[in-house]
Amino acid sequence: KAGVTQTPRYLIKTRGQQVTLSCSPISGHRSVSWYQQTPGQGLQFLFEYFSETQRNKGNFPGRFSGRQFSNSRSEMNVSTLELGDSALYLCASSLPELSGTEAFFGQGTRLTVV
């Protein structure tokens, strides 16, 4: 069974640009969550999508957005990049129908903003 796939693995962008990251969940998983990992703040929840709807959002500015497609694949977008957006962005998929099920993570996209 294929795991969670994130593309691209590495990105270098310039301040002010925008970026789109992609996540393909495990087959059959309909919940996709995004997390930002930085040395200073650690792992922080960005948002979660289920059935193409955002169900919950973390404490991030509106520059961070996402969406989910009918095949459960998800994208997140960051507009007007800032240096502080440099981070490892992790995507996780899970079976939301099962109470307490674990989330499976991809290898992440490492974004560097210069």
Partner 1 sequence: AQKVTQAQTEISVVEKEDVTLDCVYETRDTTYYLFWYKQPPSGELVFLIRRNSFDEQNEISGRYSWNFQKSTSSFNFTITASQVVDSAVYFCALSEAYSGGSNYKLTFGKGTLLTVNP
Q: Which residues make up the interface to partner 1 (CB under 8 A)?
A: 31, 33, 35, 42-45, 48, 50, 55-56, 58, 88, 90, 92, 94, 96-108, 110
Nearest-angstrom CA–CA distance, 29 and 106: 13
Residue 72's Cβ-count burial label (10 Å; 0-12, 13-18, 19+) is buried
Nearer to partner 1, 1 or 14 (CB): 1
Nearest-angstrom CA–CA distance, 10 and 6: 10
Nearer to partner 1, 36 or 113 (CB): 36
Nearer to partner 1, 4 or 78 (CB): 4
